[in-house]
Every structure is written in C-alpha cells, then in structure tokens.
Amino acid sequence: MVLGRHPSCQVVLDNAAVSRTHAQILQNHGEFSVEDLHSRNGTLINGQKIRERTKLADGDEIRVCDVVMTFHLSLPAIGALPTSDGTLPPSPRPTGLLATVTGELFVPTASSADVLIEDNSSIISSLDVSPMPGIPRVEVRPEAKLRAMMEMTRSLGGSLDLTKLLGNFLKGLFNIFPHADRGCVLLKDEETGRIGIKAMQTRRDDIDSRGRVSMTIVRHAMSTRRAILSADAVDDQRFEVSESLSNLQLRSVVCAPLVGLQMQVYGVIQLDTLDVRQQFVQEDLDVLASVATLATLAVENATLHQAALKQQSMQREIDFAQQVQMGFLPTERPQVDTYQFFDFYEAAQGVGGDFFDYVPLPGGKVALGLGDVAGKGVAAALLMARLYSTARFELLTRPTPAEAMTGLNAQLASSGLGHRFVTLVFLVIDPATHRATLVNAGHLVPLLRKADGSIVKLEYADSGLPLGITPDVIYRQWEFDFEVGDVVVLFTDGVTEATTDGNELYGVKRLSEFVANGPEDVEPLGEALVAHVEAFCQGTSQRDDICLICAKRIA
C-alpha cells in the first residue's frame, strides 16, 4: 500500500510536504514493514528517520510529514482509538488492520461518475419548431411522460452492462408503445466513427430482426440533433428516396438522438411500425424524446464505467511497474566515514526514465551513476531497468570508468533502441586518495561547491555523446581532488527545466546560486533544493522526472 500525494496512491496524503509516492507498507508472510520511497522529507518510525525497509511492531508510530499513524497488529481496545475530537467512538470498530491518523488525510474510493442532467442540457426536439429548442415539451400528456420516466428508470437500474441495459430499455419501451413493431438502439463507435446496432427488439416473429435499419433516418437525426416523427417514412420529403426506405416499407417512425452533456451524439433510439393504422403521433415523439435523456445518461454511465475499469487495470499495471522500478533503485546510501551522501527521485508519470545508483567497487571505491533516458513513462522505465543492470556489469568488469561507459554505449547502441538515447554520468570516489574520476556521456554538467562557497562546473573537453547514438564512441575520463568541505551535485533536467505556469525555467543559474548559499550538509541541502524547486513551480504539474545526488567530503 503506497502512501503519497499522487492521486494514484492507495492512501493520498493531501499535504505539500509529502512526496508524490512517499512510502509504502508491505506484508510478507504475516509480517508488516514500511519503506521510504526516496521521499523528500523522509519517513519516521517512532521518531527515527528510516533509511531502509523497517519491520513494524504493534503500536509503532509512523510519521509522514504532518500525518501520524499508529500501527496495530490486532484490534486494540476501544479506548485506545479516540476520535478526532478526543471522545470515544460510539460503536465498536471493524476488525482488521487499524490506524489512528492525525493531519490531512484523504483516501480515494472507487465510485461511479456523478453526471447532472438539467432541463436545458437536452437538445432533443420534435418536427415542430419549438420556441425553446433545447427543452423537451412538457405540455403534452404529462402523465404519459411521467409514466415513461418511471418505466425507464426501472428498466435502466441495476446494471452497468451496456448490452443488458439496452435490452431492458427496449422491453420497457414496448410496454409504453404497444403499437411499436420493432425497436432498436444504434451507437457510434468512438474509435472508428461507424454506427452499428447495439440492441434490437421485435414484437412479432414475422418481422425482420436481422438488423435492417434505414441509415437515412438515423444519420438525419444524429446530424441535426433533432428527434424525428414520420407518419410515412417512405413518402417523407425530408429524406431522399433510398432503397433501404423502400425495401423496409416503414409506415411510421419515431427516432430520437442520444445527445450528451457536451453535445456529443452517442447514437439514436428508433421505434417503427409497419401498420398504417397504428401510426405514431406527436405525443409519442414527446415521450420518446423524454426517455432518450435517461437512455443517454445510462449510456454515458455504462461507458464511463467501462473506461474506469480499463483505467483501473492500466493503473494496476503502472503501480506494479512502479514497484519494480523502485526495486531497482538503491535502498541504502554508501557508508563511508569521510563522506556524506543524499539522493532524491520522483517520476513525473508514476514510472519514469531517470536513473541513479551506488556501486561499490574493489579497493573501497564507490561509483555514483545518474542518468536520464529520453522520454517518459513505461517505455523509458523499461530502458532504465536495462541500463541499471548493464551499467553495474560494466563498472564491475572494466578497469576504468571510461572503459565502462564505452562498453555500456556499445551494448545500448547495438540493441535496437530506435531513436531513444540516454545521458549518463559516472562519478567514482576513492576514499583512500580522495581523488574523484568523472565520465560524462552527454549529461548535464555536475556542480562542485568548494568549501568557500564558490561553484565550479565539472566540465572537461573530452566529454562524449549521449549513449545509444553510435556504437564506436570512445569515452574519456577526468580526475580532480575531492577536498574537505567540497560538495558535488549531480542532477537531471527535471530540476533545471522545472517551470512556472508562465513557462519560466528554473535553470542552471538559479540552481548554482542556491547550491552556493544552501545548507552545508548534503541532506539538508538536498531537501532544501527539492523544496525550492517545488516552490518555484508554484503548483505547476511536474513535466519531467526529477533525480538528484549530492556527495560531500567531511574529513
């Protein structure tokens, strides 16, 4: 169960200090644990900030910024669970995993969409030109209209399956229109634009039920968004004489379009009769126009329900991909006596293409890797997963960081990535000699803050192209002394290209100024930098993944 600020989280914490995906609670063989998902402000257990997955015990206090939760393995005594005003709850709480929560908390629930229908939202009209064409007529037989509404409400209730729903709808129409020989509902496919029969009902076995419908009448009703009453469709001067009309020999037709709130036309309801003695009249059209509003609402709800189910399925896949991706990222920072480290990662779309890693090397060296896959979303995340394993292999098997980058590029360039490429930087720190080795493959230039607060850009003449463009690039490395008090900041373009609603960029200059004047230690510096970027954006949605690593020599 993921806790965070993003609406896709299972528990949404509506607090600006909370990261999009802040922490997660896991269950494994009856044991529960909590893990911080590289959040900006961290997760605390009993007042202690956690660095790795931590087992939960009964009564543990979990703090996520201003939200405090108490974990219980079993149902505690009622007195142990006060309500928000400090009083005891009026009735026993259900059994299960419980939490006492303070702060701003919002738990989303799955619910059907609420759609409001107002009288003036209907644009159905009869053949007569109404002085108020947007409102169904109510002066003709109001008792018949009320009866129709009640019948349709009963037939449309209790199902979100569109085929079953429309079948019940047509049965209800036959109860209201005893002289109708056939009824059908035609809907337009949103992807192809084709109009097809979704449901059909006939009263007698000798009536053609193979789906022969005059598209002349259907298209006219949909294009004009007006209900049609025709006493004799074959002779109706509004329609060009067509073979389908002549063959069907329709003596009377009522056809009402299904028009949604946003003026979109979903399809039509059509009733027809073959008996010249049982023709439809204006009152029938008024009733059908009224119930078409209910049918439109039912179609919209069923369509939204199917879209919601599809979205939920996709979201489950994304959530799983997010968990897999977070599993690739390191859960612990290097433990080096003379150095401090900080990292932050937040994807713009649940899963992303930014990448960072710590790789311990022989001789006590530590390699820091930070990169950015071109693009966002699942495709970038898949390439990031491959980059993670391949980069580790190259760093551990090659004698120098430059050769590791060269080998990594050769593999990526020959693996059929299409037009995708990767920018990446390796920084290898040797705590024994305090020498640092940098290899840059087209990535943003890292910043070095000296002990006196001055900023040095770590750029060199032999930096290479991004990975994946051409396989024969030979990368070069550059070394520098990592002195006491120095801080190196590696970052992706999600930091420098963060924008306000007026499209003003955060930029490298603003970043350099903040780093120069920021806190001395890396963890406060990194947290303050992320907060500064978010404050600069002024609530503008994140356009790109954000990834950041800070390293400082302290002795």
Residues 423, 444 contacting (CB under 8 angstroms): yes
Using one digit for the tens of pLDDT, what is the confidence trace for 450-492?
999 999 999 998 888 999 888 899 999 999 999 999 999 999 9
Task: Write down the residue that tokens 């954006």 correspond to.
Answer: 537
DSSP 273-326: ES-TTS---HHHHHHHHHHHHHHHHHHHHHHHHHHHHHHHHHHHHHHHHHHHHH
pTM over 0.75: no
Structure tokens at 264: 């979109």
d(CA 515, CA 506): 13
* DSSP assignments along 312-379, one per residue: HHHHHHHHHHHHHHHHHS-SS----TTEEEEEEEE-SSSS-SEEEEEEE-GGG-EEEEEEEESS-HHH
> Is 80 exceeded by the pLDDT of residue 431?
yes
DSSP character at residue 498: -
Distance between CA 15 and CA 106 in Å, rounded?
Answer: 10
Band (250; pLDDT cuts 50, 70, 90): low
Confidence check: pLDDT of 234 > 60:
no
Binned at pLDDT 50, 70 and 90, residue 107 comes out as very low
Token pair in block for residue 183: 């009824």
Other C-beta atoms lying within 10 Å of the C-beta of residue 245: 21
Determine how many CB atoms are found less than 10 A away from the CB of residue 465: 14
Burial 403-430 (b: 16+ CB within 10 A, else e): bbbbbbbbbbbeeebeebbbbbbbbbbb
Per-residue pLDDT band for 106 (boundaries 50, 70, 90) equals very low
- DSSP 8-class letter at 234: G
Q: Both ends of the chain: CA-CA distance in Å?
A: 40
